[in-house]
C-alpha cells in the first residue's frame, strides 16, 4: 500500500456537513459526486496529500443508510491507495482479510475500489483504491 488516501465520514445531511467541514478545515469542498451503484452522494476536501470524503445515503436501502442506522454519524472507513488493486485484493484475501465484493468496482473520485470486512480489520472498514487511468 502506498499511503492513506482518504478518511470516509458518514453524514445524514450532506449539504450541512459540507458547510461545517468547509469552516472546520478552512477550505472549500472541491468535488461532489454521486455513486449510483452504491446509492451514495459524496463530497471531498483536500488537505495537502490527504482527503476527507463525506458520504450521505441517497436511498434508505444504501450501505451508508444502514451504517447510519446502526452507528450514527462518524468515521465510516479508511482508504489506502494501491498501485495494482486486483493483486492487492488477492494478497489481502490470501492473508485472511475478507473482501466485501468479488472484484473491485468503480467508486467516487475516478477510482476503482474494494472494501474489506471490519471483522477482519479490528473493527475498521478498510477500502483500497486505485486511480482509473
- List, in sequence order, every beta strand (DSSP E) within 31-98: 31-35, 40-47, 50-57, 74-81
Provide the grid cell at 3.
Answer: 499511503
What's the alpha-carbon Rg for the chain, to the nearest Å? Answer: 14
Summarize pLDDT for 48-88 with one digit per residue, the tens: 989 999 999 999 999 999 999 999 999 999 999 999 999 99
Compute the CA torsion angle 24, 123, 85, 45 (nearest 10 deg): -10
Summarize pLDDT for 5-55 with one digit per residue, the tens: 999 999 999 999 999 999 999 999 999 999 999 999 999 999 998 999 999
3-state SS class at 66: helix
The separation between the first and the last C-alpha atoms of the chain, rounded to the nearest angstrom, is 18
Query: Which residue ranges form the domains of the chain, and what is each CATH number?
Result: 3-131 (3.10.180.10)
Compute the CA torsion angle 6, 7, 12, 18 (nearest 10 deg): -60
Q: Which pTM does this prediction carry?
A: 0.93
Amino acid at each position: 500500500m502506498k499511503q492513506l488516501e482518504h478518511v470516509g465520514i458518514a453524514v445524514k445531511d450532506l449539504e450541512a456537513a459540507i458547510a461545517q467541514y468547509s469552516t472546520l478545515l478552512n477550505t472549500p469542498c472541491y468535488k461532489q459526486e454521486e455513486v449510483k451503484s452504491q446509492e451514495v452522494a459524496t463530497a471531498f476536501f483536500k488537505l495537502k496529500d490527504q482527503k476527507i470524503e463525506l458520504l450521505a445515503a441517497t436511498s434508505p436501502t444504501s450501505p451508508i443508510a444502514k451504517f447510519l442506522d446502526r452507528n450514527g454519524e462518524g468515521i465510516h472507513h479508511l482508504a489506502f491507495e494501491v498501485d495494482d488493486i486486483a493483486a492487492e485484493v488477492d494478497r489481502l484475501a490470501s492473508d485472511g482479510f475478507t473482501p466485501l465484493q468479488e472484484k473491485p468496482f468503480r467508486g467516487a473520485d475516478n477510482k476503482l475500489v474494494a472494501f474489506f470486512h471490519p471483522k477482519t480489520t479490528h473493527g475498521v472498514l478498510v477500502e483500497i483504491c486505485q486511480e482509473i487511468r
